[in-house]
Amino acid sequence: MNIILVSGSLGKSKTLTLSHAQIVFLVVLMLVGMLVFAVVLHYLTLRHAATIKSPYLKSLLLSVQEQENHKREAYLRENLSAMAIKLGQMQAQLLRLEALGDRLTKQAGFKPEEFMFNQPPGRGGALSGVPQHELTLGEFSGQMDKLANDLNDRGDELAILETTLMRDRLKKKLVPSTPPVNTGWFSSKFGWRIDPFTGNEAFHEGVDFAAQTGSPVISAAAGVVIYSDFQPEYGNLIEIDHGNGITTRYAHLSKRLVKVGDVVLRGTKIGEVGSTGRSTGPHLHFEVRNKGIPQNPVSFLHMPG
């Protein structure tokens, strides 16, 4: 690039030749100078805003400040609205956790006063000598996010615990622990005995409850009836499947009150005591089997006293 200088004091004109790199340098230098000038002007304007007497400059400065204030307020309102929504979600999650916690304390057998979910836990301690600092908006938002994640995790964990407790309670309901008749003694126990018909030693696969004809017979646990018919040796026989390979048998009944496929609950009346089949008199022959193998019913039953 050529620059021609013409002056009356010079006898002839002079020509300056600038390279491409020199031109770029001059342009950058001008831009930097303009930027520095604008920064200095802005600083001086803000620093001496109170002493500015020009109404036009004052109004211009106030307009700029108002725009910045509006932007700041809009940013704060947007963040406050987002945090308010998140706070509402956390409050809803907390209410759900309180209800879930109340259910779990009851299911687990804890006393309600041991876990007061509707009251904030007590906290305290001596004032620390470590210097404190106020939370910034970003730090506060981060704490809110962490608390929301913690609430979600605790909710999932408590839900899993509730499922486990319910499964355990269901298993207990399916264990044949309720005596099938309202009597407190056996006329014949489980194991080896003298057979009343042959006089030989034989293995007795259940227990015999002494009871009068017509006495109610109830299901020892919840389950599904898989057999209800007359059998030559057992007489009127009912068999109930309680799941996990556990079944119970109720024999020598005078009446059968359920049929195959019926779902019975613990304590449901399923028949009446009798002396049908291979029997010497009114009684209930009761068996507990695990995968078809006879078990001692005494190990399952919760007998009075």
State which CATH number among 3.20.20.450, 2.70.70.10, 2.60.40.1930, 3.40.50.1980 fits the domain covering 186-299: 2.70.70.10
CA 159 to chain centre: 3
Helices 55-108 and 20-47 pack at an angle, to 10 degrees, of: 80
Bridge partners for 3 per DSSP: 16
296-302 contacts: CB < 8 A, separation 24 or more?
Answer: 296/190, 296/191, 297/176, 297/190, 297/206, 297/207, 298/189, 298/190, 298/207, 300/175, 300/176, 300/177, 300/220, 301/176, 301/177, 301/178, 301/179, 301/220, 302/177, 302/178, 302/179
Whole-angstrom distance between the N-terminal and C-terminal Cα of the chain? Answer: 116
List all residues 6 or more positions away from 144 whose beta carbon is below 8 Å from its beta carbon: 83, 86, 87, 90
Q: Say how many CA atoms lie within 13 Å of 299 toward its Cβ.
A: 10
Q: What pLDDT does residue 260 have? A: 97
CA distance 91 to 151: 10
pLDDT for residue 192 = 94
Interior angle at CA 62, CA 58 and CA 64, nearest 5: 120
Q: Specify the 3-state DSSP secondary structure of 210.
A: strand
- Structure confidence at residue 305 (pLDDT): 47
C-beta separation of 159 from 97 below 8 A: no
The sign of the torsion formed by the CA atoms of 232, 237, 240, 244 equals negative
103: number of Cβ within 10 Å: 14
Consecutive 10-residue averages of pLDDT for the chain (305 residues): 58 64 77 81 62 58 68 74 75 75 71 63 74 74 79 75 66 83 86 91 94 96 96 97 94 97 96 96 96 92 68
- The residues spanned by each domain of the chain are 2-72, 74-115+138-174, 186-299
Answer for the pair 280, 196: CB distance below 8 angstroms, yes or no: yes
Give residue 294's pLDDT.
Answer: 94
Q: What pLDDT was estimated at residue 224?
A: 96
